[in-house]
């Protein structure tokens, strides 16, 4: 049986470090994980860390030279059995809902027919903002799947709904969709 390919999009959230545990668990289960970072994600986690854990190149800039003479976002989009954005910021969600594809991650998603799972992580006020909620509803109507954040301690020190869902919950959803 072919190993399933998961494109893991990591955006600029303090929760970006939690992608490391997700990558490790997915690899233990036999999935091939290819990471795509936004520029903002690099403020929180390094490509070297993601490459070491995934065993694959961490893709970054929209115009970085590819390993092969292929268009990176199209190649990633075609190979993906599933795309997971974890963590997903309000900015990333808004861009997708608006159809913007001005970075490698959003261009890959828009170029793909693979299912997309979005695991938001942000301040509770950002998550509950009417515009963010409207964007989430628009994406759900378009078939995107969400793993809602949970109530927990946020980077700002407050407790609220915006804390990234537990890794086990994300893995369960991934496996359910890939079956």
Provide the pLDDT for residue 68.
62
Once rounded to an integer, what is the mean pLDDT over residues 66-82?
76
pLDDT in tens, 142-179: 999 999 999 988 888 888 888 999 999 999 999 999 98
Determine the Cα–Cα distance for residues 9 and 64; give it in Å rounded to an integer.
16
Residue 156 a catalytic site member: yes
Say yes or no to pLDDT of 7 above 90.
Answer: yes
Place of tokens 């299912």: 115
- Cβ atoms of 70 and 95 closer than 8 Å: no
Domain ranges in the chain are 5-178
Please identify which of the residues 20, 35, 86, 156 carries the catalytic annotation.
156
Tell me which of 2 and 129 has the higher pLDDT.
129
Cα-Cα end-to-end distance for the chain: 12
Q: What phi and psi, each to the nearest 5 degrees, are found at residue 85?
A: -105, 110
The pTM for the full model equals 0.93
Provide the pLDDT for residue 73.
78
Provide the pLDDT for residue 158.
83
Looking at the domain that runs over 5-178, which CATH code has it been given? 3.40.50.1950
Determine the Cα–Cα distance for residues 162 and 124; give it in Å rounded to an integer.
5
Say yes or no to pLDDT of 81 above 80.
Answer: yes
Provide the pLDDT for residue 137.
98
Question: Which long-range contacts link 24-31 to residues 24+ away (Cβ below 8 Å)?
Answer: 24/53, 25/167, 25/171, 26/171, 26/174, 27/53, 27/54, 27/55, 29/171, 29/175, 30/3, 30/4, 31/3, 31/4, 31/5, 31/6, 31/174
């Amino acid at each position: 049986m072919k190993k399933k390919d998961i494109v893991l999009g990591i955006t600029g959230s303090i929760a970006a470090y939690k992608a490391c545990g997700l990558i490790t668990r997915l690899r233990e289960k036999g999935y091939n994980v290819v990471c795509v970072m936004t520029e903002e994600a690099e403020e929180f986690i390094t490509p070297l860390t993601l490459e070491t854990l995934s065993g694959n190149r961490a893709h970054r800039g929209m115009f970085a030279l590819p390993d092969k003479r292929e268009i990176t976002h199209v190649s990633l989009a075609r190979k993906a059995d599933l795309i997971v954005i974890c963590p997903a910021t309000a900015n990333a969600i808004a861009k997708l809902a608006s159809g913007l594809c001005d970075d490698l991650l959003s261009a890959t998603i828009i170029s793909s027919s693979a299912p997309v799972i979005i695991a938001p992580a942000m301040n509770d006020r950002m998550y509950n903002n009417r515009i963010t909620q409207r964007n989430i509803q628009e994406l759900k109507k378009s078939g995107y799947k969400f793993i809602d954040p949970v109530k927990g301690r946020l980077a700002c020190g407050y407790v609220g709904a915006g804390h990234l869902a537990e890794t086990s919950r994300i893995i369960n959803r991934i496996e359910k969709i890939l079956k």
